[in-house]
Structure 1
Amino acid sequence: MTSQPPRILLVEDDPVSRAFLGAAIQALPAAVDAADSMAAALALGATGHYDLWLFDANLPDGSGVELLARLRVRDARTPALAHTAANDRDAIEALLQAGFRQVLVKPLPATALQKALRQVLEPDTDGALASAAATDDTLPDWDDETAARALNGNREHIAALRRLFITELPAVIERVRNAFRNEDFQGLHGELHRLRASCGFVGATRLQHAVQALGDDERSHARLQEFTVAAQALTASTEPTPA
């Protein structure tokens, strides 16, 4: 890196994921401008040069592919990476074909994100991207080991992200249930897509599995009930701080 920290444009609409990714980028160190929509990202993109773009594949007012295409009209050289919670080979290939250098699958540890960014900012850096996923069969409400891996064991960051996660969760539960009730499956998948990544960042293992199950069986009232019970258990939690 140069003597001046690189400037990175981060686009992520989920507040928990945005906080996690922003903190990981700042620790490179790097300067980060964060946007929660395509419109906000376009406004920031017009303010000056960035050394790297990091875009969510799915945004409330468009897509990462569309955002990249619009920014490319005036900037053909800035390297771009995509991030997504959809670990689907066809979707990842489509992002690569659209011009993203790498596709990062969320949730992933801060170290993996930083390694991927350094590979672009410092082309001589060795190493391949690795992602992490929760695989605890006991399905605890909070998996401290998963959260610690994602945030390099920083207890203060874990606690702060969990507080933000719990604050946002009641509104997310309501949106998921309304989408299910109205058979708005596109809206339902959008909410579950964002929530699955957030669960991984904070170690909400039981809810993460319930989110995946509901996404796989979107018409199942039993899956919706499992999701609701898992989510409400976290909103009732009084001590989300890792042990």
Structure 2
Amino acid sequence: MTNNLTNPVYCAVLEFNLELGQVANSLGETQRLSSVNLKLLIYLLARQNQVVSRTELFDAIWPNQIISDDVLTRAISDIRTQLAKLDSDTKYIETLPKRGYRWCIEPRSLKSSTAGSIGINSADQQPVVQLTPAPTKSWLAMMSICLPLAIILAMALMWGISYTMETRAVKLAVLPTVVDRPSIEPLAQAVDDALLNSLRKNAQVKLLSAAAINSRPQNPFPYFCQ
């Protein structure tokens, strides 16, 4: 196995089959990684707890190629998304601004992983730390806070537009709310919808369509000139 890793590799509650490019959790749910994302994951995994620079990753994963920063950023994001679908309570890849990325979870052997899952404690083996999910607020409580705030923000924005621009139309882009956990994506979407619905009530506001934003996720602003 490349990078001196055995197969499979166990990290937290996930099993990584590096030959198949597949990740599974204890419930039997799986995610299949693309070949490029698998190479990137293996490279970080083999250097767990080490800071790996973006330049080093470009040289290792895309040798002799000219690759934009967005390609690496997207690959890291895709890996995080797939791992979060299997285990949303563990942070596997850490971003260190202006330095690079770091794999946070130390790989474990099959023996220690099995012992931890069934609660075995022996004199010559350290027990595996069980991660307890942090308590979360209920959906109703979170929405009761976030939705009114989104509506208030929209009303304040519309008042500012009407006060300063008089009858001149204003082009506005509302970028999607970014979340780091799939479990709260519905809440983020509800907040975005509430904000958009409030803004649409003002005839002076011309909203940039979601299709335009999605077609240029890194820079939607040239559409304002059309």
**Structures share a fold, TM > 0.5?**
no
Q: Which has the larger radius of gyration?
A: 2
Q: What range is the shorter-chain TM-score in?
A: under 0.3
TM-score normalised to the size of structure 2? 0.26
Q: Compare the two structures and name the one with the higher helix fraction.
A: 1
Structure 1 length-normalised TM: 0.25
